[in-house]
Amino acid sequence: MFVSSRSAAEYRAMFDLVPEDLAGSVLDCSAGGSSFTAETDGRVVAVDPAYVIGRSELAARLRAGLDEADRIIDDNADRFEWSWYGSPERRAEMRRAAAERFIADLHRRPGRYVAGALPDLPLASGSVDLVLCSHLLFTWADRFGEDWHRRALAELVRVARREVRVFPVVVSGTAEPVAFLDGLRRELDALGHRTELSRVPYRFQRGGDRMLRIGVGSPLDSAPRR
- Report the b/e string of 45-66 with b at 16+ CB within 10 A: bbbbebbeeeeeebbeebeebb
Binding of ligand SAM at residue 40 (CB under 6 A)? no
Binding of ligand SAM at residue 7 (CB under 6 A)? no
Out of 27, 44, 58, 118, which residue is the one contacting ligand SAM (CB under 6 A)?
A: 118
Number of residues that bind ligand SAM (CB under 6 A): 19
Residues 6 or more apart whose CB falls under 8 angstroms from that of 83 comprise: 203
Binding of ligand SAM at residue 8 (CB under 6 A)? no
Out of 8, 17, 32, 198, which residue is the one contacting ligand SAM (CB under 6 A)?
A: 32
Binding of ligand SAM at residue 63 (CB under 6 A)? no
Using the contact rule CB under 6 A, the part of the chain among 62-70, 129-137, 201-209, 211-219 near ligand SAM is: 129-137
Question: CA separation (Å) from 104 to 35, 55, 68, 99, 210?
Answer: 10, 10, 22, 9, 31
Given the rule CB under 6 A, which residues bind ligand SAM?
Answer: 1-6, 29-32, 34, 48-50, 117-118, 134-136
